[in-house]
Structure 1
């Protein structure tokens, strides 16, 4: 039977598609790899109004999404770790999250909508330039280098997850196997330095470019000559730059090592994708039956 929701009846379909939406910079106006703050807030409102609730990458991979009946999962992803995503302000001797940064706006939205939880995936670079090293350093956009680890730790404490995005947004397709493995191993190692023991399960490919040896995007190793040890990495998921909504993890064709995403920036429209997902067809949306122990088929 159809489940009545505020936006109309939806028939459970847990083989349907799941949008993995992708933001980069959240700034004043839309542009290449940029959305305005007003638009970011509007996209959160639209996802909520249309019956989507955030899930984490681990829940998608482990098939443990606990989504209310009639609702649909969405995975929120953020690439490049810019200060616009997470900015600290100093107020009376303490650090507070800038409410105009993406993290600040998202946490405010979650606080105002109890059916949403603080879930999402932040794809990090620890050694990028222009303030993209763990959300800002060297005074760029008012952010101090000493705050970087605090930000990464804060995200995990809130319930968000972390993702590898190489050391400095390297175009993996142009490098040797050795450089690729150093980029990915050191990226994961930096996250471990901030959050010891953290399991990095995902890699977001910079520019969507695969290394020549595609297997190295999933696993590999690098020898750390300084500490005389071998650092290994293994990604359970590889996120593409685009490609539309992803298949359900219950779909036999689900491939976690090539997860398509819905990029949001100047010139793109979230509504177009969500409208198509509301129609019958190959992109029909995942709709939960409310029972995590069953898989509702259309």
Structure 2
């Protein structure tokens, strides 16, 4: 899809609209067992039954992918691979039973959208995998990045069995992965100072370690979620470093990705890419906006890791008639040649011959053109 100055102005305006909507939306004991009966006198009794073993925890679908396959030119042509194509990075906020803001989604809406993704051969990858080019997706499939901002309790919580609660984002992802085995259960959660609404440090640590042990990414969304566009450089660094220090306490390594609160970018982009504050530091490989269109492939020259587009999860009403997930997923379905289609080989970048010039120079030795 070619860009033009007019389209660029439209996308910028759409980003402003999506950010404004986000600002408004974000403001706005076990039972005792009965005693055993007393045996009747003179009657033989059997030994009491052994206590029942605890029910095993259900197996969860694995985040592992099938082994990669070596992609030849003919194989790439056969699966219509296009690893220079666009990738949808979907953005979710609160997941609630009753929507109170336009960016809210219900569990049913999230489930329906993810089932649609699965039916259309999309395979989730994390934001970190995306920005580093680790797109190990089966041949003929399409990567999608599922991202959740602010660390709401509707994103992840444990049920009584220490498993993901069914109507949380993680619970829904696993439900869809069970129904559609090709739907890899991973996502990225960008959190603030109270991850998943948890106040206790041990509870926070338990949650994020469970997620990362199961293939999910938990990363930086700043300490208190301010608009970084209006803060001085030192305050920006403080917001990011304080969150990095908390994530370290929770057992995580340095974040490789950052989602900008409200999608608001400071005038000088470099101050959110890397920096230091009070002896702490940060350095990201991908900075994400609030977005309005699919992202370019990380392999092409137009990809800007400092300002990555996302798509708000929503229908096609009002400001979303052309900028949110329903519109864009339908558009990509109608224009299959424009979306990223994998070759199944993470070592090669398979593309139609006419797209050779679109690949970044440092990746050209990996080109497999047909």
Fold conserved between structures, TM > 0.5: yes
Match of 1:104 among 156, 171, 190: 171
CA contact (8 A) 2:111 2:172 kept: yes
Is 1:292 aligned with 2:346?
yes
Equivalent residue number for residue 205 of structure 1: 260
Equivalent residue number for residue 281 of structure 2: 232
TM-fit CA distance, 1:48: 0.5
Q: 1:290 to 1:28 in 2, by over 3 A?
A: same
Equivalent residue number for residue 227 of structure 1: none
In 1, Cα distance between the equivalents of 2:344 and 2:204?
39
Measured against aligned partners, the alpha-carbon deviations of 1:267-288 in whole angstroms (never above 9, x if no partner) come to 445232022223449x810011
**TM-score normalized by the length of structure 1:** 0.84
SS of residue matched to 1:243: coil
Equivalent residue number for residue 47 of structure 1: 117
Is 1:162 aligned with 2:236?
no
Measured against aligned partners, the alpha-carbon deviations of 1:174-227 in whole angstroms (never above 9, x if no partner) come to 11111110001111111111024x13011100111112432111011111xxxx
TM-fit CA distance, 1:23: 0.6
Structure 1, 253-262 or 22-31: larger mean CA deviation: 22-31
Equivalent residue number for residue 184 of structure 2: 117
Structure of higher CA gyration radius: 2
Match of 2:236 among 175, 180, 189: 180
Equivalent residue number for residue 45 of structure 2: none
Is 1:20 aligned with 2:69?
no
- Aligned runs of 1:69-84 on 2, under 5 Å? 69-84=139-154
Q: 1:119 to 1:97 in 2, by over 3 A?
A: closer
SS of residue matched to 2:98: coil
In 2, Cα distance between the equivalents of 1:212 and 1:62?
25
Equivalent residue number for residue 107 of structure 2: 37
Higher fraction of strand: 1
In 2, Cα distance between the equivalents of 1:97 and 1:67?
25
CA contact (8 A) 2:153 2:196 kept: yes
CA contact (8 A) 1:134 1:149 kept: no
Equivalent residue number for residue 226 of structure 1: none
In 1, Cα distance between the equivalents of 2:187 and 2:109?
18
Q: CA RMSD in A?
A: 2.3
TM-fit CA distance, 1:290: 2.1
SS of residue matched to 1:75: strand
**TM-score normalized by the length of structure 2:** 0.68
- Aligned runs of 1:215-254 on 2, under 5 Å? 215-223=270-278, 230-254=279-303
Equivalent residue number for residue 141 of structure 1: none
Structure 1, 103-112 or 231-240: larger mean CA deviation: 103-112
TM-fit CA distance, 1:297: 1.4
Equivalent residue number for residue 275 of structure 1: 330
Structure 1 gaps of 5+ residues are 127-132, 139-143, 224-229
SS of residue matched to 1:43: helix
SS of residue matched to 2:105: strand
Q: 1:2 to 1:279 in 2, by over 3 A?
A: farther
Equivalent residue number for residue 126 of structure 2: 56
